[in-house]
Structure 1
């Protein structure tokens, strides 16, 4: 017999026994068998009387003084950069065009061709303006080396 035919025979046996009920003949590991005759041990209990604690005084921990030395206080964040008028208009166009189309469609307004064209052109124009103004070089204040700073 070839290894392939042995494997095919094993698969045939698996498929044939798929719908058959489980029999008690299947071997189980001894660790899986539970004995109903052995009672579970009861948990042990200990009664503690107050007199046992009177002799032992708890050691008082020294109060920790709150000092400013261990706390990190971050620097205030830098102010937001000033945005010029062109960038503001580009952002308004980028979001304003689709917002107009969404509101008009949800309200059931009759949109003219020029309004659709203007909204789509505003979206595209705002996107292009922001991408062009993005710049692809290092910032001007980075010095001669634009590598990592350790």
Structure 2
């Protein structure tokens, strides 16, 4: 580091540890609000759905007649803010998890069950027969090979090439 960098760094550290003097305030004067003053900017709760906020319990009309347009901006919100709130992206609900077919379910059972069973047997200090251990290992390997063999590969003609930026 050069001398100027060291001096600048020392000044930054000193100003960080220094407390403000009586006349200085660490924030802009526009942020000084009294207890009864209100901000002109909209708050997040100003963007609630109009159909929820208007009604007999919320102090809305609640009487006969047409309901107000829910797409219309609430009073006190400018057009740009209302349009930004209306164009806010809400993702669609996720697709359900696929259940799989019977072969896939059995393959998963063969991959998960034997290791758990062998761990329980080892914890309980039981001595399983060699045939049981052999069958557990064969089931695990067969299930794993089945799951790998049934994986979908990438095809060159597949139009879905993932996220493209």
TM-score (norm 2): 0.48
Aligned in 2, Cα 1:84/1:102: closer, same or farther, shift over 3 Å?
same
RMSD: 3.7
**Helix, strand or coil for the counterpart of 2:150?**
helix
Structure 1: segments with no counterpart, 5+ residues: 1-41, 48-55
For 1:22, the equivalent position in structure 2 comes to none
**Helix, strand or coil for the counterpart of 1:77?**
coil
Q: How many residues align?
A: 100
For 1:89, the equivalent position in structure 2 comes to 106
Matches within 5 A, 1:51-130: 60-64=38-42, 65-66=46-47, 68-69=85-86, 71-130=88-147
Structure of greater relative contact order (alpha carbons < 8 Å, 6+ residues apart): 1
Aligned in 2, Cα 1:46/1:101: closer, same or farther, shift over 3 Å?
same
Structure 2: segments with no counterpart, 5+ residues: 1-17, 24-31, 48-81
Find the aligned partners of 1:99 and 1:127 in 2 and give their Cα distance.
Answer: 15
**Helix, strand or coil for the counterpart of 2:153?**
coil
Find the aligned partners of 2:136 and 2:146 in 1 and give their Cα distance.
Answer: 15
TM-score (norm 1): 0.52
For 2:149, the equivalent position in structure 1 comes to 132
Deviations 1:77-135 (A, max 9, x none): 11112310100000010111111111101111121011101110111010111111113
Matches within 5 A, 1:31-50: 45-46=21-22
